[in-house]
Structure 1
Amino acid sequence: MAICFLHRLMAVVLCTSPAGGYVHQMMYDCEYGEDISDMLFMVKNVYNQKLLTFYDSRVGKYVGFGEFGMRNAAHYNSQRWKMEQRRIQVEILCRYNARLFIKSTLDRKVPPVVRVRQTEQVDYGERSVLECSARGFFPQEVRVSWLRDGVKVTTDVSSTEVMANGDWSFQLHSYLEFVPRRGERVTCRVEHSSLPRSMDVDWDTYLLDAKHMKMTVGITCFCIGFITAAGGAAYYRWKKMSDYSPSRLGPNSGL
């Protein structure tokens, strides 16, 4: 499929006269495909919406329309400096800007920043929703998928449209509804032309595991404290009973 790009610069001169005025427009067009060596440069002079003269870089001269246009075209073609200027403008106006355009758009690649989070904090065994956010990437073509323990998920997956950020970058958000299991690996996979290979980002279960760790540590500390307190109470009772045992009575105890 052929791709054609058009850059246009236009100068407009507005003048007034007793008859109501006139508008003279000069338009510069640069047309090119994937190969900018094949560049077409055109200059159009339009008077009150009527084309008067037309310059085509492939022909290398002006063509006039109507008596006034033909006289102007002959005058322009006789000016060597103007013809040289038009020849140079193919390079300095068309190809130069085409290179900048291609570099800033077609060749520009920015990798996405990917984050996976739980939309609402729930426990293992409870239905949850994970969000995978891919932000700041360019161009806009991107593919996001989910894996559970390395197996691609094909159900309970939804995503937004690719959204423009207004700064030549895009974002997309994908969602996975599932019931988390302890020890399971849930991965968001992002594929983009800026990446040498797909980017896999795992869901970090630290907060969920930390909650259970705190509970486990709390129960363990309680058990240790209870056992320590029970052992201390038993020792105190044994000590107290030992103070009144017969073996501690002297020989002159009166018995």
Structure 2
Amino acid sequence: MRTLTLVLVGFAFCWVSSKDVYVFQDIDECEFSKEDLSDMVYTVKLVFNQKLLCSYDSRMGKYVGYDEFGIRNAERFNNQSWKMKERKEQVETVCRANARLYIKSEVRKAPPVVVVRSNSEARFGQLTTLECHAFDFYPQAINVTWLLDGSEVTGHVVSTEFMDNGDWSYQMHSYLELVPHRGETASCRVEHSGLKEPLVVLWDSTSLHTRIIKLAVGCSFFLSGLAVALSAVYYHKKRHRGFSSLVLH
């Protein structure tokens, strides 16, 4: 199994004088290779201007210095019973606890929830923007593409960066500008490790057809009403002419 190293804590203090810059770093690392974390190794490294002064290794259970200043600090740390007790406990509280979270996050997979819609009322022959929203997926890696009649579209596409939801999940959004045509299908294809196969979500364009149907129905009612009205006028005029002829005779 591969060896994993987690750099869990790293901080630096920087002092700046008129001539020099001094940087002190404290770097904590956890290294393991077994799934049960039984071979966990915890190290703490104190570095000054990129030079290792002293370090703590959980296998040795003490600090070791590498120059005069580092040796003095290592001896002082080793004589602090509270610090040595804390370092020993941190193999569990810092390393194994964070390693379990890391392993869990590597195994966990959450497929995206995908929604496709237009950002305004779409009409045939008029420019519109389609939106493809992918929500609540993990891990972060995802591929979102647009298809027109099954063929991938590369132009007029804009996608956002990944957005962290703060709960081990992400979201991403993609936009396509197009002019809808009758009989044409637009869809969003999403590929993610949480999906067994690519998810293709079709844009529901029934609203465009519904609008045409409503217009056709409205026109038919209008024409029917007009025909009835014209028939009534014709009947009225015909009756009026017949009545006038009768009076004259």
Q: Do these two structures clear the TM 0.5 threshold for a shared fold by scoring above it?
A: yes
Partner amino acid, structure 2, of 1:235: Y
Is the Cα contact below 8 Å between 1:156 and 1:177 reproduced in 2?
A: no
The structural deviation recorded for 1:176 is: 6.1
**Aligned residue-pair number:** 235
**Cα shift readout 1:74-102 (whole Å, capped 9, x = no counterpart):** 55546666544322211112222333455
SS at match of 1:145: strand
Instruction: Give the equivalent residue in structure 2 for 1:39.
Output: 40
Instruction: Give the equivalent residue in structure 2 for 1:222.
Output: 222
**Is residue 134 of structure 1 aligned with residue 133 of structure 2?**
yes
Is the Cα contact below 8 Å between 2:159 and 2:175 reproduced in 1?
A: no
State how far apart, in whole Å, the 2-side matches of 1:68 and 1:172 are.
54
**Is residue 160 of structure 1 aligned with residue 161 of structure 2?**
no
SS at match of 1:63: strand
Q: Structure 1 residues 2 and 112, CA, compared in 2 at 3 Å: closer, same or farther? A: farther
Is the Cα contact below 8 Å between 1:108 and 1:139 reproduced in 2?
A: yes
Is the Cα contact below 8 Å between 1:26 and 1:43 reproduced in 2?
A: no
Q: How many percent identity over aligned positions?
A: 33
Computing the radius of gyration from Cα coordinates, the structure with the larger value is 1
The structural deviation recorded for 1:216 is: 1.1
Instruction: Give the equivalent residue in structure 1 for 2:115.
Output: 114
State how far apart, in whole Å, the 1-side matches of 2:194 and 2:159 are.
19
In the superposition, the TM-score normalised over structure 1's length comes to: 0.67
In the superposition, the TM-score normalised over structure 2's length comes to: 0.68
State how far apart, in whole Å, the 1-side matches of 2:43 and 2:9 are.
10
* Aligned-pair Cα RMSD in Å: 4.2
Partner amino acid, structure 2, of 1:165: M
Instruction: Give the equivalent residue in structure 2 for 1:27.
Output: 26
Matches within 5 A, 1:29-178: 29-32=28-31, 37=37, 38-45=39-46, 51-67=52-68, 69-74=70-75, 76-77=77-78, 82-100=83-101, 107=108, 109=110, 111-117=112-118, 121-123=122-124, 126=125, 128=127, 130-136=129-135, 137-148=137-148, 152-155=150-153, 157-165=155-163, 167=165, 169-175=170-176, 177=178
Q: Structure 1 residues 200 and 127, CA, compared in 2 at 3 Å: closer, same or farther? A: same
Instruction: Give the equivalent residue in structure 1 for 2:211.
Output: 211
Partner amino acid, structure 1, of 2:26: M
Is the Cα contact below 8 Å between 1:119 and 1:129 reproduced in 2?
A: yes
SS at match of 2:144: strand
Instruction: Give the equivalent residue in structure 1 for 2:193.
Output: 193
State how far apart, in whole Å, the 2-side matches of 1:170 and 1:107 are.
16
